[in-house]
């Protein structure tokens, strides 16, 4: 398994609570999106990496913390004209909020 690069401008959409197995089916979503600010490389044999993200959303909820225990799934790129090539591994990436700043 090779290292995985997640480009800057990658979008992740809210998929509900990570501790709720039915979240993807019961509508437990805040319609939040995370957009990576910087690229991140996850080395081979590693499960995760940290990256700064920008939070946006369609609802009144505009922030998310680690205690909210939300799960996010890869949803594409914010770079419409120069979208990077997407690998199959990138399509299966899931994200969680580990820390937040005011």
Q: Are 45 and 1 in contact (CB under 8 A)?
A: yes
Kindly state the helix (H) or strand (E) to which residue 91 belongs, with its residue range: helix 88-91
Stated pTM of the model: 0.85
The pLDDT tens digits for 3-56 are: 888 999 999 999 999 898 888 888 888 889 999 999 999 998 888 889 999 988
Question: 70-77 and 94-96: which strand pairing?
Answer: antiparallel
CA 41, 72, 75, 91 torsion-angle sign: positive
30 CB contacts (<8 Å, ≥6 apart)?
14, 57, 59, 61, 64, 70
At residue 1, does pLDDT exceed 70?
A: no
């Amino acid at each position: 398994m090779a290292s995985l690069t997640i480009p800057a401008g990658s979008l992740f959409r809210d998929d509900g609570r990570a501790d709720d197995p039915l979240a993807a089916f019961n509508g437990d979503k805040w319609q939040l999106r995370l957009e990576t600010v910087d690229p991140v490389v996850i080395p081979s044999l590693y499960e995760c990496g940290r990256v700064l993200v920008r939070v946006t959303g369609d609802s009144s909820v505009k922030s998310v913390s680690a205690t909210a225990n939300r799960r996010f799934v890869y949803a594409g790129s914010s770079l419409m004209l120069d979208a990077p090539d997407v690998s199959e591994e990138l399509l299966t990436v899931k994200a969680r909020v580990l820390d937040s700043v005011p």
